[in-house]
Structure 1
Amino acid sequence: MTPRAPLHGGTLLVPPRQRLPGAPGRPRRVAMLSVHTSPLHQPGTGDAGGMNVYIVELAGRLAALGIEVEIFTRATSAALAPSVELAPGVLVRHVAAGPYEGLAKEDLPAQLCAFTHGVTQAWAGQVGRLTAERWGVPLVHAMHTMAKVKNAALADGDTPEPAHRVLGETQVARAADRLIANTQQEAEELLHHYDADPDRVSVVHPGVDLERFRPDGSGVEAGRAAARARLGLPAHALVPLFVGRIQPLKAPDVLLRAVARLLEERPRLRERIVVPVVGGPSGSGLAEPEGLQKLAARLGISDVVLFRPPVDQGRLADWYRAASVLVMPSYSESFGLVAVEAQACGTPVIAAEVGGLPVAVRDGVSGLLVPGHDPADYARALRRFADAPALSVRMGEAAARHARSFGWDTAAAATAEVYTAAMRERRLVG
C-alpha cells in the first residue's frame, strides 16, 4: 500500500546522536522531509519556489539555536552526493526513490514507499505519519500550500490538484502532533477544510533574510538608482516587477494585461516603462514555456517587457531594489515570501488580496491590495505609481520598516517552541 505521507514537508523530532548547546527542553535533532522539491534547487525553476527558501532559512536558523537538522529529499540525479552540508549543523540527504528525471510532482505518491525505505536506512527520520508511529516520535507538519484551497481558486488553464493529494493532506492533518500555519487565515483553513484539531494548530509567520534583503545603505531612493545602474535599467522609468514561477497560479499574465491597458490609456508612458519578469516556467506553464512571451507579443508590449531567468538571491535583491513596485497577482499564496523580500529591500507591493498576502502587505502603507484578478484593477493601481513617482519611495520606506517584523530568527524561535510543545505532550501521553 502506498503511504500517504506529506507531499510538501514535515518535521520529525528524532533522538540526538550528540548533544548540542541549546535551551533546556528543546529538541536537539530534527529530520525535515522535503519530498516535493530539493532545498538545493534554484527557486523560480521547475517546482522550486518559496518552500525551498523556507526550508533552507528555517534549517539554518534552527541550527544556530543548537538544533541539528537533517533534510531528506528525493535524489534527482545519479551524480548527486549522498549527503551535502548546506550549512553548519544542516545536512541534506539525497534519497533514491523513483527515476531521477522526468517524474512530475503528481507522480510522487507512488514513490513514497521507496522514499520511506531510503530515509529509514539513513537512521535519521521517517516519512510522515507511518514512520512517526513506528518510532514513537512527534510529527510536526507545515503545509506549504493546501490542495483544497488551491482548487477553490484555480486560474484559467491551471490543473486541479489530484484527489490523492487531498487524501494525503487530510490524513497528515489528523495524524500530526502539531500543525504549523503561516497565518491565522491558514489556520482557519486547516480547521475548515481538513477538520484539524484547533489545539494542535500553531501560527508561525515565515521570515525573510534581513541581512540580504534590505535597502541599499544610502537609502531607498539612492539605492534604487544604484541598483538600476548595475542592472542596466533606465534611471527614471516606471519599473513594475514580477518575480516567481511562470505558471497560471502566480498570474504573471494579469500584470502584462494590466500594463497593456495602462499603455492604451497613457501611450506616452511607453517611453518610460520597463516590465521585468524574473522567473522560469513551472507547473502548468511547462506545457508552453513561451506562452507569456507570446502573450506579450499579442498585447503589443514586447518592447517594454524584459524576460529574465531565475537568479540567485544576491542578484534578486538588486532586482527588488531597482523596481518601482513588485506586482504579485497570485490566485493563491499561503504567505507570500516574495512580497516580504521586496518590501525588506524598500520596494512597495501591489498584491492580490488572497491567502497570507494581507498579512505580508500593509494595505495603503507598504503597498496596495487588490480584490480579484481583473487587469483593469491592477492597471489602476499601477497608474498611482506612474502619476506620483514619489509614492514608490514613500511606500518603499514604510515597506522596509514593515518587513523588519518578519526576521527568520523570530520564525525559528517560534518553530522551536512548537517542537518543544510537541515533545512535552508526547512525553505526557507516553
Structure 2
Amino acid sequence: MKIALVSEHASPLALAGGVDAGGQNIYVAHVARQLLRAGHQVDVFTRRDRALLPPISQMDGVRVIHVPVGPAMQLPKEKLLPHMPAFAAFLLDFCRKERQCYDVIHANFFMSGLAALAVKDALKVPLVMTFHALGRVRRLHQGASDGFPDARFAIEDELVRRADCVVAECPADRDDLIEHYRADPARIAVIACGFDPGEFSPLDPAEARRRLGWTPDEFAVLQLGRLVERKGIDNVVQGVAALEARHGVRAQLYVVGGDAQTPNEIATPEIARLRDVARRCGIEERVRFVGRRERAQLRDFYCAADVFVTTPWYEPFGITPVEAMACATPVIGAEVGGIRHTVRHGETGWLVPPRDPVALAARLRDIHADPAQARAMGEAGRARAQAHFTWRRIGQQLEALYARLAGAPAAQGEHERMVANARAASLRAFG
C-alpha cells in the first residue's frame, strides 16, 4: 500500500521532550518505520517549522514532507489552526501530483484530520483518525488554561462522524469518544502505542548509574517526559517531600525533559515553577533537572532508577510508562487515561490518584521498603510490555486496519483474520 501519515505539529524528526514534542512524534515515527519494514510506501506530512528544512527529508526510507504553511519557526500548536486551510490545500495538491494516489491517509491530531478531510472528499481516500487528545476531555481537565478555541469541538465532531475509522489508544479513550462525541463503537479500533525493544531493555542498574554519574546507593525516583503543567510533575516533587516527612525516606528525584539540553527556565518555563515547588517543600537540593536527552540515552535513565513515576491529571495513553516497564523498572502512575490500563496495579507497579502526593509517598515507601517486590514488579512489567506493546505489534494491527479499509489485493479471509487477531490482542492487553 501507499500510505500517508499526517501530523501537522509533531514531526517524526523532532527530539522528544519539548513542550509540543512528545508521544505523538514518537508514535508517528515508529508507525512509519514499521509500515516501511512491512513493505509499504510511507509519506509523512508535517508543518515546516525551521527555515533551513528541505522540502522533503528522508527518515530511514520514509519521506517526510515539510508543508510550507505559516512562519518557518516553531509555534505553539494552539496557534496553528488558522494555517490549516493552507495545509489542506498543499496536501491535496501534493496528492493530485503524485503518480499514484494514496491507499489510505492516517491523520494524527484534530488539525491533521481537518486537513486530511480535503483529500478524503476530493480523492475518495479512506481516512483513519487518531486524536491523541480529545478537546472536550482536555477542557474538562485544564479549564481556562486550555489554549485551543471552542471551534475544536465541532471539528472533532465532524471527524468522528466522517472518518472511516477512529483509532482509540486505550479503552478509556474509546469510552471518551462514545460518551463525549457519540462515536459509533463499530467504527472505533482500539490500538495501543508501543516501544522499540531495540531502544528499551533491561540494563544492570549499577552500570546505568555509573554511566550517568548517579550515587550508587541513593533511592532514585525518575520523572521523564514533556515538562508541561498537566503532567503533574509538581505532584511528584511534593510526593518525594512527603516520603521524607511522613516515612523518613530520603530520595533523589531526576526530572528529564524540556526544550534544551541544559535545564533552562527561559526555554522551559515549567522548570521555574517546579523549582519553586521544590524550594517551598524544602527539597530543592534533591530535585535535579537534567534537561532534554536523546532517545538513545533514555534507557540509562530508566534502568538507573529505582522507580519511574508519572502522575498527570490527563493522559490519553502515556508512552513513558511502557518504556519504563520494558526496562524492568517498576512504575507508579496516575490512575487516569491509558496509564490505568497499561500499568497493572500491584503487579507491574502501583496506580495512585492524581494530585495526591500523600498517596504517592505511601507507594514510594512500598517500593523502597521491599526491593525484592520492586524487582518482581519490574520483571512483570517487562513481560507485559514485550507481550502487548511492541511497535511491531502495533504496526501489524494498523496494517490490517488499513488493508481492510483500502481493499488491498490480498485474500479477504486473511484480512479478516488479521483484524480479529488485532482485536483479540487489544482485549488481552487491556483486559
TM-score bin (small chain): 0.7 to 0.9
Superposition TM-score, scaled by structure 2 size = 0.85
**2:406 maps to which of 418, 423, 426:** 423
Instruction: Tell me if structure 2 keeps the 8 A contact 1:140–1:176.
Output: yes
Q: Is the 8 A contact 1:348 1:396 kept in 2?
A: yes
CA distance in 2, matches of 1:261, 1:344: 28
Q: 1:286 deviation in Å?
A: 5.3
Determine helix, strand or coil for the equivalent of 2:72: coil
Shift of 1:252: 0.4
* In structure 1, distance between residues paired with 2:18 and 2:60: 22
Give the number of the structure whose residues are more often helix, by fraction: 2
Residue 153 of structure 1 contacts residue 331 of structure 1 at CA under 8 Å; is this kept in 2?
Answer: yes
Partner residue of 2:315 out of 324, 329, 333: 333
| 1:49-108 per-position Cα deviation (integer Å, ceiling 9, x unaligned) | 0111100011100111111110000001110011111112x1101011111225321221
**Does the CA contact (< 8 Å) of 2:91 and 2:116 recur in 1?**
no
Cα distance between partner residues in 2 of 1:115 and 1:326: 39
How many angstroms apart in 1 are the aligned matches of 2:297 and 2:269? Answer: 28
Question: How far 1:262 moved relative to its partner?
Answer: 1.5
Q: Hey, what does 1:80 align to over in structure 2?
A: 53
Q: What amino acid maps onto 1:233 in structure 2?
A: W
1:64 counterpart letter in structure 2: R
Q: What's the counterpart of residue 189 of structure 1? A: 176
Partner of 2:381: 399
Matched-pair contact (CA < 8 Å) for 1:154–1:160: no
Instruction: Name the amino acid aligned to 2:349.
Output: G
SS in 2 for 1:152: helix
Query: CA–CA distance in 2 between the matches of 1:29 and 1:154?
Result: 38
Please state if 1:247 is matched with 2:228.
yes
Residue 408 of structure 1 deviates from its aligned partner by 1.0
How far the C-alpha of 1:289 sits from its partner, in A, is 4.5
One-letter identity of the residue aligned with 1:145: A
* Residue identity opposite 2:134 in structure 1: M
**Which residue identity is paired with 1:228?**
R
What is the Cα deviation at residue 388 of structure 1? Answer: 2.1
Q: Where does 1:57-206 land on structure 2 (aligned, <5 Å)? A: 57-88=30-61, 90-101=62-73, 103-123=75-95, 127-154=115-142, 158-159=145-146, 161-206=148-193
Q: How many residues align?
A: 386
**SS of alignment partner, residue 142 of structure 2:** coil
Counterpart for residue 412 of structure 1: 395
Structure 1 contact 180–202 (Cα < 8 Å) conserved = yes
Q: CA deviation at 1:281?
A: 6.0
Is the Cα contact below 8 Å between 1:158 and 1:248 reproduced in 2?
no
How big is the shift at 1:360? 1.1
Deviations 1:237-274 (A, max 9, x none): 1111000111111000000011111122345x33xx21
CA RMSD of aligned residues (A): 2.0
Q: Shift in Å at residue 416 of structure 1? A: 0.9
Q: Secondary structure at the match of 1:382?
A: helix
Q: Report the alpha carbon displacement of residue 287 of structure 1 after superposing the two structures with TM.
A: 5.2
Relative contact order (alpha carbons < 8 A, sep ≥ 6): 1 or 2 greater?
1
Distance 1:236 1:390, change over 3 A: farther
Is contact 2:256–2:290 with CA below 8 Å preserved after alignment? yes
Superposed, which structure 2 residues align to 1:6-405 within 5 Å? Answer: 28-88=1-61, 90-101=62-73, 103-123=75-95, 127-154=115-142, 158-159=145-146, 161-216=148-203, 223-267=204-248, 269-270=249-250, 273-280=251-258, 289-405=271-387
Residue type of the partner of 2:283?
I
How high is the sequence identity, in percent, across the aligned residues?
Answer: 34
Structure 1 residues 235 and 288, CA gap change in structure 2 (3 angstroms):
closer
Kept in 1: contact 2:191–2:394 (CA 8 A): yes
- TM-score, with normalisation over the residues of structure 1? 0.85
For residues 239 and 377 of structure 1, do their structure 2 counterparts lie closer, same or farther at Cα, with a shift above 3 Å needed? same
384-393 or 201-210, which moves further after superposition? 384-393
Q: Distance in 2 between matches of 1:413 and 1:296?
A: 44
Aligned-pair distance for 1:290?
A: 1.5
1:158 positional shift: 3.8
Give the aligned residue type for 2:404: A
Distance 1:182 1:302 in 2: 36
Instruction: Tell me which residue corresponds to 1:18.
Output: none
Mark the runs of 5 or more structure 2 residues left unpaired by the alignment.
106-114, 261-266, 413-431
